């Protein structure tokens, strides 16, 4: 394993960002705690959850010893606070600093949710690091992890390893070449896939001749998993036909032969079944039913043509709106070139063009997502630039810079509890601290666009906000 890790140099380290390196035996479905938030009991979904949470999908990121020492590189006064704390309190401080969530299967011990236990105290990142988190302090499977501080965690882990003379791993090296995420809760994950795909042929066999295209780094907010079941195509620009194969695009590292990756097909099928079995959490606060009923009428007249309908006989139109019309930040749109979409559509991922009708090699803009459980998946838009639904509904209200509280939920505006400001305070100088501020003036982070709700009256807006709580 260490050898694999050490070979991850130069651009290869980029490829080592996400790798299924060893497949441990998968326990039977009975051994797992049923996933909270799932409504389907299908065997495939259960197997998918086991596959995901028990199989090390990547080389180890670090071990317990390194994680337990990470406080030693923290800035003051946090470091002193950690020094005086018990190991359990220190673990809590570290989880808070990096946006890690305790696993419901073994809270307080072992790897966080989002990491697989690879034995010998080793932590291996999996999909849930970005795709599960907390809402108003409660753990929710499939919700984007809006607190994940991937860049800060990686930088501080690397420092500890260097101090201890430990071998660096894939992310420690990869992050020297590719930014992982400049604002906590969002990541440059789309670009990881582009960099990995550049070295694969259409059968996803590794090739030395491929050229890594120019990379337009930008951070995205992961979409909630529970909406995948309503979509025909996935990702912000809706380019890829929904299927199990695209889920494996992050495993295209040189160490994984095409044959090996193709061999994971059954696991990926089960994983998709689990993703599609997820349902959104219910809004926990009070709802004014009369106002929400009025809001439904306004919504159906103004929003449903793009976002679909909800409740009995609901329909979802799977629309993609041109980039000029939607007007939200275009870095994500510009970052994925036609060549990459063609590679996905015409090769193994797209069943060699068999699904070509569903792939959109020339996608015009961004997909209008389903709004199920929308109350829970703040911040909003594909780049996570807008902290509350009230701000989505009134483009003039959106904060230029915002900083969220640790776990607070704003029930009035529906979304993250934030401090609003015009600029990141000059006193905030450490990069780790700056990542706690969402600065919409930075490239790829604009809050512009999607001005449709501006046409509503204040009363209509209030009603739609109430209705959105019920989806
Ligand atoms: C480092 C964070 C990160 C990790 C790890 C990660 N994802 Fe994602 N995922 C994202 C982001 C960001 C997006 C949004 C990309 C876009 O829309 O273009 C995304 C999008 C998706 C989507 C599309 C959902 C939709 O509604 O369109 C699926 C499905 C998905 N990821 C599955 C997975 C699976 C399965 C894994 C594990 C093998 C995984 N992801 C690992 C960050 C991550
Ligand atoms: C012409 C199509 C269209 C109309 C009409 C429209 N939207 Fe949207 N909406 C979109 C698209 C496309 C996005 C994704 C934008 C992005 O992520 O950059 C979006 C995003 C959103 C989001 C954020 C979703 C998320 O997961 O982050 C919300 C909330 C939303 N719309 C609510 C509404 C409401 C409420 C209305 C009606 C008042 C409305 N929209 C009207 C196309 C539309």
Per run of 10 residues, the mean pLDDT along the chain (length 471 residues) is 31 34 31 43 91 88 97 98 97 98 94 95 95 94 97 98 94 90 96 88 87 90 97 96 91 81 93 97 96 98 98 95 98 93 93 89 96 98 98 97 95 98 97 98 98 97 98 97
Q: Quick check: CB of 328 below 6 Å from ligand 2? A: yes
> Tokens in use for 419?
């401090």
Give the nearest ligand 1 atom to 57 CA: 38
* CA separation for the pair 56, 226 (Å, rounded): 23
From 450, 457, 471, give the residue whose CB has the most ligand 2 atoms within 8 Å, as the site to mutate: 450
* CA separation for the pair 261, 419 (Å, rounded): 45
Cα distances (Å, whole numbers) of residue 316 to 28, 143, 160, 229: 36, 20, 49, 11
Q: Quick check: CB of 453 below 6 Å from ligand 2? A: yes
* CA separation for the pair 40, 47 (Å, rounded): 12
Distance of CA 137 to the CA centre of its chain: 18
- The residue among 435, 240, 421, 221 whose CA lies nearest residue 328 is 221
> Tokens in use for 294?
């009025």
Q: Provide the phi-psi class of 136: left if phi over 0, else alpha when psi is between -120 and 50, else beta.
A: left
> Tokens in use for 258?
């095409």
From 190, 237, 452, 467, give the residue whose CB has the most ligand 2 atoms within 8 Å, as the site to mutate: 452
Whether a cis peptide bond, with omega within 30° of 0, leads into 74 is no
Residue nearest to atom 19 of ligand 2 (CA): 368
CA of 390 to the centre of ligand 1 (A): 26
Give the nearest ligand 2 atom to 453 CA: 38
Specify the pLDDT at position 41.
Answer: 57
Residue 73, CA atoms < 13 Å, CB-side half-sphere? 20
Residue nearest to atom 13 of ligand 1 (CA): 222
Residue nearest to atom 43 of ligand 2 (CA): 306
* CA separation for the pair 246, 265 (Å, rounded): 10
Distance of CA 418 to the CA centre of its chain: 20
> Tokens in use for 106?
């073994």
Ligand nearest to the CA of 308: 2
Cα distances (Å, whole numbers) of residue 379 to 223, 359, 455, 463: 10, 27, 22, 20
CA of 148 to the centre of ligand 1 (A): 14
The set of residues, in sequence order, having a beta carbon less than 8 Å from that of 247 and lying 6+ positions away, is: 268, 271, 272
Q: How many residues does the chain have?
A: 471
Q: Quick check: CB of 188 below 6 Å from ligand 2? A: no
Q: Quick check: CB of 303 below 6 Å from ligand 2? A: yes
- The residue among 46, 14, 21, 44 whose CA lies nearest residue 125 is 21
Ligand nearest to the CA of 274: 1
């Amino acid at each position: 394993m260490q050898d694999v890790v050490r070979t991850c140099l130069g651009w290869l380290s980029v490829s080592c960002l996400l790798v299924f390196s060893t497949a441990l035996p998968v326990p039977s479905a009975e051994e797992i705690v049923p996933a909270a938030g799932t409504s389907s009991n299908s065997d495939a979904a259960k197997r998918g959850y086991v596959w995901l949470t028990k199989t090390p999908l990547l080389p180890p990121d670090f071990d317990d010893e390194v994680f337990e020492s990470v406080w030693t590189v923290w800035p003051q006064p946090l470091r002193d606070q950690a020094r005086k704390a018990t190991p359990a309190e220190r673990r809590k401080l570290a989880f808070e600093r990096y946006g890690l969530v305790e696993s419901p299967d073994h809270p307080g011990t072992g790897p966080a949710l989002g990491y697989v236990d690879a034995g010998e105290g080793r932590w291996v990142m999996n999909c849930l690091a970005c795709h599960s988190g907390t809402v108003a302090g409660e753990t929710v499977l499939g919700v984007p992890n809006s607190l994940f501080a991937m860049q800060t965690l990686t930088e501080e882990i690397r420092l500890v390893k260097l101090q201890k003379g430990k071998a660096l791993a894939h992310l420690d090296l990869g992050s020297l070449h590719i930014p992982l995420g400049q604002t906590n809760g969002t990541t440059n994950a789309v670009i990881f896939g582009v960099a990995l795909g550049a070295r694969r042929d259409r059968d996803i066999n590794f090739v030395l001749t491929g050229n890594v295209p120019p990379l337009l780094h930008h951070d995205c907010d992961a979409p909630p998993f529970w909406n995948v079941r309503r979509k025909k195509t996935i990702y912000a620009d809706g380019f890829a036909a929904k299927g199990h194969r695209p889920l494996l695009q992050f495993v295209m590292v040189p160490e994984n032969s095409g044959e090996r990756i193709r061999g994971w097909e059954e696991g990926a099928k089960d994983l998709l079944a689990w993703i599609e079995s997820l349902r959104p959490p219910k809004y926990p606060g009070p709802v004014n039913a009369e106002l929400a009923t009025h809001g439904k009428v306004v919504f159906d007249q103004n929003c449903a043509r793009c976002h679909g309908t909800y409740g009995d006989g609901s329909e979802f139109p799977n629309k993609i709106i041109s980039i000029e019309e939607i007007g939200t930040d275009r870095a994500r749109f510009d970052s994925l070139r036609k060549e990459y979409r063609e590679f996905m559509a015409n090769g193994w991922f797209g069943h060699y063009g068999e699904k070509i009708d569903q792939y959109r090699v020339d996608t015009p803009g961004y997909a209008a997502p389903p709004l199920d459980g929308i109350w829970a998946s703040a911040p909003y838009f594909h780049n996570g630039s807008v902290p509350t639904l009230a701000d989505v509904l009134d483009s003039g209200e959106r904060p230029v810079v915002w900083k969220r509280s640790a776990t607070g939920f704003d029930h009035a505006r529906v979304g993250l509890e934030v401090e609003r400001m015009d600029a990141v305070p000059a006193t905030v100088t450490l990069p780790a601290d700056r990542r706690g501020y969402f600065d919409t003036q930075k490239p790829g982070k604009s809050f512009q666009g999607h001005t449709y709700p501006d046409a509503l009256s204040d009363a209509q807006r209030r009603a739609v906000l109430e209705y959105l709580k019920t989806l």
